[in-house]
Structure 1
Amino acid sequence: MRARDAAELVRLPAALTAPGDSLAGAAAAGWPYGRRSWAAPAASVCLYLAGMALNDFADCDLDARERPERPIPSGRVDAFEALGLATALTGAGLGLAAVAGGRRALRVAVPLAGTVWAYDLWAQRTAAGPAFMAAARGLDVLLGAGGHASAAAVPALAMATHTAGVTTLSRGEVHGAPRAAALAAVAGTATAAGLATLGALRAARGPAAGGAAAAGRLRRLAGRARAAAPAGGGVVAAVVYARSVGRPQLAAVRAVGDARAARGATGAGVRGGIGLQAALAAGAGAPAVAAALSALGPLARLASRKVSPT
């Protein structure tokens, strides 16, 4: 298997959308893995790439009819090579999760891997497909939370909602998307942006209440001032996300049945997940992480010109 063919098989540019899930969860939960926090996003990337390779293995017959240029139907990659790669990447992802948080992390990573395999081998061909994909993204956020599911509930729900909309629309990439699918994607983007905004505002109120109990009005005001910056950054990033993803989705609403419009909106949605992750991280008080994630967006767009992310 040549490197170029492997990159196309796993849709390598799309893997840039994976690390931000667990980073957003970790920021919301207060970085529960400490110095081992790096291993959670690495696990996310491995499990994401495994899902992409497994998807092409499962879809090789369909791709032979609809996308004969893909690596397996074109003969550049053997189907069982793809299956072996998916298996190896799944094992690597679970191993890295264990490095990050031991049993705590594996309690999420194992169901996450199971959801990925169930989606590719069965659910993607059914009406349950978007729900399974959304569940995988939500679990990926919780992977970074280290067992503090309640702390990361809002970012997990935001990523799941975004993913459900994008997955629903992606079903029209070949033959065009019906209006209902495009509208569902728009609604998912709006809801995810709203959840990111809500999370930022809730995080801003938290320090204020603690400050009041501890040291009175002066400390309360200082807590609000410190919280205002991440809250504002989170809100602004949520607006930027909604605009970058929502505009091509609205174009798909207007161009009902146009496969090209559906593909464009799907690609924007896949890459736009990075913007949502940045908004969630900013709202949780991790501006450096948010800035690093924001930098991945242009890189993903550039890489997408070489290898398709969808």
Structure 2
Amino acid sequence: MTRRRTGRTQAWAELLRVSALFSVPGDALAGAAAAGVRPGRGTLCAIGASLCLYEAGMALNDWADRAEDAAERPHRPLPSGRIAPSAALAASAALTAAGLALASRAGRPPLVVATALAATVWAYDLGLKHTPAGPGTMATARALDLLLGATASTSRNVGPHRRAVHALPSAVLLGAHTYAVTAVSRHETQGGSTRTPLAALAVTLAVAGAASGEALGTRPDTTTVASPSGPPAPAPHPTLPSSRPLPSAWPLPSRRPLPPRRLRPSRLPASSGRPNPSRGLGPLLALAYARTPATLLLHAALNPSAALTERAVGGGIRATIPLQAALAARAGAPGTALALLGLVPAARALARKVSPT
């Protein structure tokens, strides 16, 4: 009885690819960092929603590919009979509902983003995966997951729409990485592609270069700092095109200058001259991100076998974590970046027991 239960647990772990779960929480955390807000209750709801929707996609993927896996990967849980296809489909539907329920706890904008994310996941698994739009659809899903964390993380100064706009560059970089990994994964069962791993390597290096730099602009909840010489002088009143003086019945209103606002050190703009503690951390994390899949992609390009291609895909999935950390450091959140980096050893250890692909 115990052995049967252990085997069933192992089968569900393979179906849901639990070793890849460590790459999910960083989406919401990187989104909160890119939006310039600290993680909070809404961020936790976004992480829970992301985990549920990610696992829903994994179960739905194997349900949709059960006939193909029976020919190419008969050891998978559904073709081998360890899990019934109806159970996998029911689990996907239940996880999708749970993800949307968690997103709704963070507010209406996160629920809208989560609904778009769920629709993208289901569209990918049920029809778009084997079309040219497949990699772009998966990249969109990852980008939406980061934006979910940005909109769910609350801020008193910035609305959810502006937070999403500020997080958009990070979402684009994460989506580009996902596009490259998904393009390579289309060859993991048969291999044979040299050009795709090389293109993915070029994308990886480009994303690493962009992630190593400092985010443009100031943090979204920053305010202007008064000049040391005192408050700014009031703006001069506009002059009329005519040289005739204004009648005395139309006096110009006087404008009293506002007192300067004092800011906490954490809200100073990046360009204020204050040293940024994450300035040196970002390039290091970007290098760690590029190093993770670069060698595996090069091996897959030189020897495009199915085994090496599958290893390159696994390395690309694990590289998502240091990329998320680099994006957090780029946004000025070194604590979040280091916390995400701590997930890498656990993901690597679990990947030895359960394949992330």
Specify if TM > 0.5: yes
Task: Give distance in 1, aligned partners of 2:270 and 2:318.
Answer: 38
Aligned 1:77-226 pairs, distance under 5 A: 77-100=83-106, 102-146=107-151, 147=160, 148-198=163-213, 200-202=214-216, 206=218, 213-215=225-227, 223-226=272-275
Moved more, 11-20 or 285-294: 285-294
Moved more, 23-32 or 118-127: 23-32
Instruction: Look up the match of 1:55.
Output: 61
Deviation at 1:45, TM superposition (A): 0.9
- Structure 2 residue matching 1:214: 3-state secondary structure: coil
**Counterpart amino acid of 2:306?**
A
Moved more, 2-11 or 136-145: 2-11
Aligned residues: 301
Deviation at 1:216, TM superposition (A): 5.1
The runs of at least 4 aligned residues of structure 1 exceeding 4 Å deviation read 210-213, 219-222
- Structure 1 residue matching 2:189: 3-state secondary structure: coil
Which structure 2 residue ranges, 5 or more long, are not aligned?
Answer: 152-159, 230-267
Please identify which structure carries the higher helix content: 1
Q: 1:220 to 1:9 in 2, by over 3 A?
A: closer
Instruction: Note if contact 1:41-1:144 (Cα within 8 Å) is conserved in structure 2.
Output: yes
Deviations along 1:133-152, whole A, 9 cap, x unmatched? 00000000100111322110
Task: Give distance in 2, aligned partners of 1:191 and 1:270.
Answer: 17
**Counterpart amino acid of 1:131?**
G
Task: Give distance in 2, aligned partners of 1:222 and 1:133.
Answer: 35
Aligned 1:198-277 pairs, distance under 5 A: 198=213, 200-202=214-216, 206=218, 213-215=225-227, 223-227=272-276, 229-255=277-303, 257-277=304-324
Task: Give distance in 1, aligned partners of 2:10 and 2:279.
Answer: 41
Matched, 1:6 2:53: no
Deviations along 1:268-295, whole A, 9 cap, x unmatched? 0001100100111112122221112111
Deviation at 1:32, TM superposition (A): 7.3
Task: Give distance in 1, aligned partners of 2:192 and 2:90.
Answer: 33
**Counterpart amino acid of 1:253?**
A
Deviation at 1:177, TM superposition (A): 4.2
**Counterpart amino acid of 2:116?**
P
Deviations along 1:170-200, whole A, 9 cap, x unmatched? 11111114122112211221222123123x2
Which structure 1 residue ranges, 5 or more long, are not aligned?
Answer: none
**Counterpart amino acid of 1:11?**
R
Task: Give distance in 1, aligned partners of 2:83 and 2:270.
Answer: 61
Percentage identity across aligned positions?
A: 47
Instruction: Note if contact 1:13-1:303 (Cα within 8 Å) is conserved in structure 2.
Output: yes
**Counterpart amino acid of 1:74?**
S
**Counterpart amino acid of 1:40?**
A
The structure that has the greater radius of gyration is: 2
Instruction: Note if contact 1:164-1:188 (Cα within 8 Å) is conserved in structure 2.
Output: no
Task: Give distance in 2, aligned partners of 1:81 and 1:220.
Answer: 52
TM-score w.r.t. the length of structure 1 is: 0.91
Task: Give distance in 2, aligned partners of 1:177 and 1:50.
Answer: 30
Instruction: Note if contact 1:98-1:106 (Cα within 8 Å) is conserved in structure 2.
Output: yes
Instruction: Note if contact 2:218-2:269 (Cα within 8 Å) is conserved in structure 1.
Output: no
Deviation at 1:246, TM superposition (A): 1.4
Q: 1:57 to 1:289 in 2, by over 3 A?
A: same
Task: Give distance in 1, aligned partners of 2:164 and 2:300.
Answer: 35
- Structure 2 residue matching 1:174: 3-state secondary structure: coil
Deviation at 1:35, TM superposition (A): 3.1
Task: Give distance in 2, aligned partners of 1:140 and 1:221.
Answer: 26
